[in-house]
Amino acid sequence: MRRAAEQASGLLKALGNIDRLLLLCQMTQGEFCVSELEVLSGIRQPTLSQQLGVLRDEQLVHTRREGRQIYYSIASRDAMAVMEVLYGLYCKPTKESKS
């Protein structure tokens, strides 16, 4: 049980930063290159690179290089499950917000 709690604590620590949370929330919608993430999130360099580095170090994201572009997507099933819940609670448009 302690090991599971340590893993959960590590994930929650990574999600505890607003920029990383915003990046992962965006990635629930698919794979994005760095320039797309910068525009969509409003996070500027070098903060964007720093936070993507943390997500890579925590093994929460995959990277894929295509030419000069690096693409990011969520790698962790646990992170995706948590992010889907958070997205549904806080980000997904509701009928009330459409009116």
Instruction: Catalogue all structural domains in the chain, each as residue range(s) with its CATH number.
Output: 2-90 (1.10.10.10)
Res 88: pLDDT = 84
Contacts of 87 (CB under 8 A, 6+ apart): 25, 28
Query: Which residue do the tokens 């929460």 mark?
Result: 60
Beta strand pairing call for 32-33 and 69-74: antiparallel
Per the CB < 8 A criterion, the answer to whether 89 and 24 are in contact is: no
The predicted-structure confidence for 13-64, as pLDDT tens digits, reads as follows 999 999 999 999 999 999 999 999 999 999 999 999 999 999 999 999 999 9
Which residues of 1-99 form beta strands (DSSP E)? 32-33, 61-66, 69-74
Indicate the pTM of the whole model. 0.85
